[in-house]
C-alpha cells in the first residue's frame, strides 16, 4: 500500500469528511481522469489539422489577446483542481495589463494556457477561448491550435519571462549557447554568426556591461539580477509582439527591480508591443500597468483601469489588498492582513469564494456566485456589496480607521 493512500484512506469516524478518500474513490477518480485526459490529448495530437479549424476573428481589432470564459483544470488523483475557472479579459495592443492576486489564484496558469504550456497531461484547457492576433495578421484560437503550429507562435510572437529566473536557465550550457539557440530556432535565415551578434546586442540592450564576457559564462557565474536580465534578453531576442512577464522582479532588489521595469517599458514602446505583467506587488502595478485584473481563487473578481482599481476599488478583496500595502500612515505600525483562507480548490462552494473572509456580507452573498457588475465602461467587479454599497477608496478607509482609534 502506498503511503499517500494510507494517509488519505477514509475511516469510520471521518466518513463525513470530504477531504478523506477511500481507495475505491481514489481509483474511481483516477479512472475518470484517464478517460477525460485521453479525450483532450487525442484532440491535441491530431496531424494535418486544416488552418480554418483554428482561425478566428477578434471581437475588438484593437486587442492582441482576448481570453473568454477560460477554464483550465488539473485532473489530479484527489480531485479536479479548478485552477482557472471562467476568466475573461483583453490585452489591448500597446498596453500593459497587470494581473494581481494572492498565491495560487491562477495567474501563472492563465498565462501558461495562452502559451499552451500548462503541465500535461493532468492540466487541460477544458472550456473557453483564447484568441490571439499574430504578426501575420491572422487571428488564432489558441485552445484549438495543434502543438506543432503553436511552436511557431511561441517564441516568435509571444515571449515569456518565467517566474523563477534561478531555475529557468540550463546550468550546464553557457549563456551564449542558450541565447543563440533561441535566435537560431525562431529567426528565419539566422546563422551562427548572426545569432551571436544578436545575442550580444540583446545583452547590451538589457544593460549588461561586458556582454562578450557574459556570453561565454555559465549561469552560476552570474548574480540573480544578471540572470534575470539574461532571461529578459532571451525573451526579447525575437522581437515579440506580446511579452508575458511572470513575477519578473520578485528575485531582485529594489534598485535592479526599477531598472528592469523601466527596461521592459522602454522595449514595449520601441516594438509597440503589449505586456501581461503578473505580480504580487501592487507598487509595480501602480507604476507600470494601464489596466488591472484582480484574480481570486481562479476567477476574476475585479478589473478596470489602474486609476479605478487603486482609487475606487469595488470588491472587498481588492480593498483588502490595497490596505495590505505597507504605508507610513498606519497608527500602530501594523500591516493590515485579510483574515481567513481561500477555499479548497477541489471543493469550491457555490456562493462567492470570498464569503468566509468578507466583512461586508449581504444576504444575497449566500446565494449564487455574483455576476460582474459594471461601474464604468472599463470597471467591473463580481460583488453584491459594491452593487449597493457606497464608493470606497482605500485612503479614505485608512483615515477613517485612524480617526476611530
Ligand atoms: N501541475 C499542477 N498540478 C496540480 N495543480 C496545479 C499544477 N499547477 C498549478 N496547480 C494549481 O493551480 C492553482 C493556480 O496555480 P498558479 O501557479 O496559477 O498560481 P499563481 O497565482 O501563479 O500563484 P503564485 O503567485 O504563487 O505564483 C493552484 O491551486 C495550484 O495548486
Ligand atoms: Mg505564479
- CA–CA gap between residue 76 and residue 84 (Å, rounded): 15
Backbone φ and ψ of 375, nearest 5°: -110, -20
- pLDDT, mean of residues 180-189: 86
Asked whether 339 and 405 are in contact (CB, 8 A), the reply is no
Q: Is residue 299 one of the residues assigned to a domain? A: no
Query: Residue 84's domain spans which residues?
Result: 51-292
The ligand with the least distance to the CA atom of 113 is 1
The tens digit of pLDDT for each residue in 294-313 reads 999 999 999 999 999 999 99
Domain CATH code at residue 111: 3.40.50.300
Q: Is residue 2 one of the residues assigned to a domain? A: no
Judge if 337 and 255 occupy the same domain. no
Q: Is residue 147 one of the residues assigned to a domain? A: yes
- pLDDT, mean of residues 110-123: 92
Q: From residue 229, how far is each of 218, 219, 295 by CA, in Å?
A: 14, 12, 28
Judge if 189 and 323 occupy the same domain. no
Judge if 174 and 229 occupy the same domain. yes
Is residue 216 predicted with pLDDT exceeding 50? yes
Single out the residue in 260, 292, 324 at which a domain terminates: 292
Judge if 342 and 386 occupy the same domain. yes
The tens digit of pLDDT for each residue in 363-396 reads 889 999 999 999 988 899 999 988 754 444 444 4
Task: Calculate how far, in angstroms, residue 101's C-alpha sits from the geometric centre of ligand 2.
Answer: 10
List pocket residues of ligand 1, CB cut-off 6 Å.
Answer: 74, 76, 81, 83, 101, 103-109, 119, 122-123, 163, 280, 345
Mean of the per-residue pLDDT values of the chain = 84
Judge if 282 and 344 occupy the same domain. no
Least confident of 105-109, 248-252, 268-272: 248-252
Q: Is residue 37 one of the residues assigned to a domain? A: no
Asked whether 207 and 264 are in contact (CB, 8 A), the reply is no
Residue with cell 495567474: 107
Judge if 238 and 155 occupy the same domain. yes
Q: Which residues are registered as beta bridge partners of 79?
A: 76
Nearest atom, ligand 1, residue 119 CA: 1
Judge if 357 and 282 occupy the same domain. no
pLDDT of residue 283: 84
Nearest of 219, 223, 264 to residue 244 by alpha carbon: 264
Q: Is residue 343 one of the residues assigned to a domain? A: yes
Going by pLDDT thresholds of 50, 70 and 90, the confidence category of residue 267 is: confident
- CA–CA gap between residue 386 and residue 346 (Å, rounded): 28
Single out the residue in 292, 323, 357 at which a domain terminates: 292
Is residue 286 predicted with pLDDT exceeding 80? yes
Judge if 266 and 337 occupy the same domain. no
**H helix runs in 45-164, sequence order:** 107-114, 147-153
Bin 104: left if φ > 0, else alpha if -120 < ψ < 50, else beta.
left
* Global confidence as pTM: 0.85
Q: Is residue 43 one of the residues assigned to a domain? A: no
The tens digit of pLDDT for each residue in 61-82 reads 999 999 999 999 999 988 899 9
Q: Is residue 39 one of the residues assigned to a domain? A: no
Residues of the chain with pLDDT > 70: what percent? 87
Going by pLDDT thresholds of 50, 70 and 90, the confidence category of residue 399 is: very low
The tens digit of pLDDT for each residue in 131-155 reads 999 988 899 999 998 888 888 788 7
- CA–CA gap between residue 282 and residue 288 (Å, rounded): 10
Question: Which cell goes with 298?
Answer: 481562479
pLDDT of residue 165: 65
Question: Which cell goes with 243?
Answer: 511579452
Angle between helices 224-236 and 192-205 (to 10 degrees): 130
Judge if 228 and 348 occupy the same domain. no
Number of domains making up the chain:
2
Going by pLDDT thresholds of 50, 70 and 90, the confidence category of residue 330 is: low
Task: Calculate how far, in angstroms, residue 39's C-alpha sits from the geometric centre of ligand 1.
Answer: 23
Is residue 19 predicted with pLDDT exceeding 50? yes
DSSP 137-181: S-EEEGGG--HHHHHHHBTTTEEEE-S-HHHHS-TTS-HHHHHHH
Going by pLDDT thresholds of 50, 70 and 90, the confidence category of residue 161 is: confident
Judge if 285 and 341 occupy the same domain. no
- CA–CA gap between residue 188 and residue 54 (Å, rounded): 24
Neighbours of 6 (CB within 10 A): 9
Protein residue with least CA distance to atom 13, ligand 1: 83
Protein residue with least CA distance to atom 20, ligand 1: 104
Least confident of 29-33, 36-40, 267-271: 267-271
Judge if 346 and 388 occupy the same domain. yes
Going by pLDDT thresholds of 50, 70 and 90, the confidence category of residue 326 is: low
Neighbours of 346 (CB within 10 A): 14
Judge if 189 and 90 occupy the same domain. yes
Task: Calculate how far, in angstroms, residue 47's C-alpha sits from the geometric centre of ligand 2.
Answer: 32
- CA–CA gap between residue 64 and residue 62 (Å, rounded): 7
Protein residue with least CA distance to atom 17, ligand 1: 108
Question: Which cell goes with 25?
Answer: 474513490
Q: Is residue 28 one of the residues assigned to a domain? A: no
Largest alpha-carbon pair distance within the chain? Answer: 70
Single out the residue in 246, 262, 292 at which a domain terminates: 292
Q: Which residues have C-beta within 8 Å of that of residue 245, sequence separation ≥ 6? A: 160, 161, 264, 275, 276, 277, 278
Amino acid at each position: 500500500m502506498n503511503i499517500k493512500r494510507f494517509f488519505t484512506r477514509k475511516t469510520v469516524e471521518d466518513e463525513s469528511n470530504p477531504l478523506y478518500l477511500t481507495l475505491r474513490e481514489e481509483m474511481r477518480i483516477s479512472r475518470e481522469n484517464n478517460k477525460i485526459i485521453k479525450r483532450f490529448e487525442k484532440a491535441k495530437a491530431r496531424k494535418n489539422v486544416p488552418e480554418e479549424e483554428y482561425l478566428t476573428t477578434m471581437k475588438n481589432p484593437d486587442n492582441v489577446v482576448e481570453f473568454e470564459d477560460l477554464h483550465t483544470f488539473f485532473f489530479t488523483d484527489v480531485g479536479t483542481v479548478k485552477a482557472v475557472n471562467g476568466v475573461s479579459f483583453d490585452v489591448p495592443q500597446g498596453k500593459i495589463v497587470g494581473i494581481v492576486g494572492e498565491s495560487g489564484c491562477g495567474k501563472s496558469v492563465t498565462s501558461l494556457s495562452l502559451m499552451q504550456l500548462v503541465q500535461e497531461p493532468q492540466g487541460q484547457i477544458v472550456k473557453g477561448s483564447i484568441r490571439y492576433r499574430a504578426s501575420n495578421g491572422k487571428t488564432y484560437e489558441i485552445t484549438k491550435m495543434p502543438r506543432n503550429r503553436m511552436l511557431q507562435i511561441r517564441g516568435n510572437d509571444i515571449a515569456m519571462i518565467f517566474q523563477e529566473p534561478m531555475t529557468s536557465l540550463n546550468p550546464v550550457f553557457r549563456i551564449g549557447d542558450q541565447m543563440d539557440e533561441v535566435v537560431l530556432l525562431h529567426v528565419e535565415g539566422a546563422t551562427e554568426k548572426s545569432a551571436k551578434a544578436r545575442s550580444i546586442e540583446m545583452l547590451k540592450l538589457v544593460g549588461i556591461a561586458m556582454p562578450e564576457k557574459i556570453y561565454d559564462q555559465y549561469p552560476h557565474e552570474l548574480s540573480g539580477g544578471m540572470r534575470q536580465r539574461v532571461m529578459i534578453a532571451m525573451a526579447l531576442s525575437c522581437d515579440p509582439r506580446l511579452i508575458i512577464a511572470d513575477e519578473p522582479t520578485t528575485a531582485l532588489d529594489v534598485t535592479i527591480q526599477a531598472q528592469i521595469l523601466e527596461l521592459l517599458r522602454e522595449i514595449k514602446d520601441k516594438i509597440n508591443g503589449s505586456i501581461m505583467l503578473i505580480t504580487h506587488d501592487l507598487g509595480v502595478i501602480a507604476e507600470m500597468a494601464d489596466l488591472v485584473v484582480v484574480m481570486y481563487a481562479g476567477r476574476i473578481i475585479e478589473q478596470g483601469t489602474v486609476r479605478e482599481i487603486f482609487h475606487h476599488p469595488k470588491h472587498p478583496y481588492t480593498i483588502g489588498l490595497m490596505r495590505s500595502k505597507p504605508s507610513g500612515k498606519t497608527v500602530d505600525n501594523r500591516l493590515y492582513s485579510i483574515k481567513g483562507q481561500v477555499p479548497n480548490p477541489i471543493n469550491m462552494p457555490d456562493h462567492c469564494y470570498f464569503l468566509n473572509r468578507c466583512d461586508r456580507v449581504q444576504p444575497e452573498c449566500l446565494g449564487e456566485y455574483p455576476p460582474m457588475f459594471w461601474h464604468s465602461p472599463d470597471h467591473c467587479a463580481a460583488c453584491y456589496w459594491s452593487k449597493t454599497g457606497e464608493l470606497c477608496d482605500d485612503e479614505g478607509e485608512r483615515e477613517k480607521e485612524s480617526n476611530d482609534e
